[in-house]
Amino acid sequence: MADQAMDQTTDEYSVYVPDKDDAEGFPIDIDDPVQVNLIEETGMESMRARLWYFEPGEKVSYHYHHEQEEIFYVVQGTGQVVVGEDQEEIEVPEGGFFRPETTTPRQLRNDSDEEVVWLIIGAPPEVEAKIWDTYDEAGQPADDGEFKDLDHFF
The string of pLDDT tens digits covering residues 10-69 is: 888 888 899 888 888 876 656 688 889 888 888 888 999 999 999 999 999 899 998 899
C-alpha span between 112 and 36 (Å, rounded)? 21
CA distance 97 to 71: 7
Report the CATH number of the 28-128 domain.
2.60.120.10
152 phi, psi to nearest 5 deg: -60, -25
Domain extents in the chain: 28-128
pLDDT, tens digit, 9 for 90 and up, residues 85-130: 999 999 999 999 999 999 999 999 999 999 999 999 999 887 778 8
Q: Could you give the C-alpha distances from 62 to 21, 25, 95, 96, 153, in angstroms and in order?
A: 26, 17, 23, 21, 13
Alpha carbon distance 127, 100 (integer Å): 17
